[in-house]
Amino acid sequence: MNIFIKNLLPASRTFWLYHLSGCLLVVLSYFLMHSYYGNNVFNLTVMNLIGMCLFTPTALCFRRCYIKYRWQDFNTAKIISFVFIYSALAGLVVAVLLTLATKSFYLDLQLARVGPDKAVKVILSQLVFLAFTYQVIACGWGFIYNYTVASRRVQAALLKNLRLQNSLKDAQLSSLSNQLNPHFLFNSLNNIRFVIHENQQKADDMITNLSELLRYSLETSQHEKVGLQQELAIIEQFIDLESIQLEQRLNFKLNDDSRCGHYLVPPMTIHLLVENAIKHGIELLPEGGTLSLDINVLEQQLVCTVTNDKPLSYQVLKPGTQIGLDNIRQRLRLLYGDKASLEINNGETVFIAKMIIPREAGHESYCD
């Protein structure tokens, strides 16, 4: 019995607030109507209050059946039919109980005025009127309740879909970002293997740079954006490692606007542009070449331009280059939509990659 009552009575304060507000609104409407027509205002108001009290259990039974039998999963036609059946039964039950409950101060007065010969007609008229009235009220209550439940389900579905989209976005960003080239790792470890026998201090510095680069790659996976200064610092360590292998063949120039340091960039994007410039440009030149990284502010945009020398015959982008650039484009699309872009200019002897992102100041740190 206790379980039945517990299931029947909602614990939600919001439900009771809306239900009681609706009941009081009905009583107030009838009070104003009776006051306007000058009828037996007090008795009719008490009668309406009792009627709404009797209506409440029927509404709770409807709610219980709605939840228990999952009416929300039915099609619209079934729900409408259930609401009409409920409202008809509720109207009849409330009409009978209300007539009995108010007999002493309302029905008996009506019967005394008309006499015994019309008593049955008066009783039936009252029952029909009350049944119709509370059927309309119950029908409205049922449709409002169904609409409220449906609206909440839609909102929950939208929220779930949004969370799934965010999860997918995070998964895509995680898979696209922080992908260190195995070719670079192999070369770095191989170079350290040779240097460690000749210059242990230099080998120690190389290991430190490589560990910092790996640490940055791993820890920035938890961040969508990092400070530009952090990205540039790790690029310089990357250049130091590459210079061990390329020696004088790599001429690196960094031109960054001093105002840009506190702006945010997607982690490893500029690094990937620099890595591509070396792997698919400088490394292919017997005499080496120049790699320039320019950081500038253009109105509300941050422009990162990577320029590198390349072989004259290298006119068509190789698959490896295209994959890396597509990686960056996808990340920019996920993070900024159409507000960011990656422009490519494949000249005869120079390759230019220009990444344009919204200017966004911040103090994010991957060490936080």
Question: Where along the chain do the CATH 3.30.565.10 domains lie?
Answer: 177-358
CA distance 196 to 287: 26
Per-residue model confidence (pLDDT) at position 1: 52
Amino acid at 55: F
Quote the CA–CA distance of 44 and 34 in Å, as a whole number: 8
Q: Are 238 and 275 in contact (CB under 8 A)?
A: yes
Measured from the Cβ of residue 254, the count of other Cβ atoms closer than 10 Å reads: 14
Tell me the CATH class for 177-358: alpha beta
- Residues 242-269 pLDDT 10s: 887 788 889 999 988 766 768 899 888 8
**Per-residue DSSP letter, 268:** T
Question: Residue 318: what pLDDT?
Answer: 57
Query: The sheet that has 250-256: what strands, in order across it?
Result: 250-256, 289-298, 301-309, 350-358, 341-346
Locate all alpha helices (DSSP H) within 199-227, ordered by sequence.
Answer: 200-219
Q: Per residue of the chain (368 residues), what is the pLDDT tens digit? A: 566 666 678 878 889 999 999 999 999 998 998 888 877 788 888 999 999 999 999 999 999 999 888 888 888 899 999 999 999 999 999 999 999 998 887 777 777 777 777 778 888 888 999 999 999 999 999 999 999 999 988 888 888 777 777 666 665 555 555 555 565 677 677 777 777 777 788 788 888 888 887 888 777 767 788 889 888 988 998 898 888 778 888 999 998 876 676 889 988 889 889 988 988 888 889 888 999 999 998 888 999 999 999 887 665 555 555 677 888 888 888 889 899 999 999 888 899 999 999 998 875 544 33
Candidates 321, 329, 334, 326; CA nearest to 356 is 329
Return the DSSP state at 305: E
Residue 181 CA from chain centroid, whole number = 33
Instruction: Return the pLDDT at 62.
Output: 92
Alpha helix ranges (H) inside the chain: 2-8, 13-37, 41-68, 76-101, 108-114, 119-176, 182-198, 200-219, 228-246, 269-279, 319-336
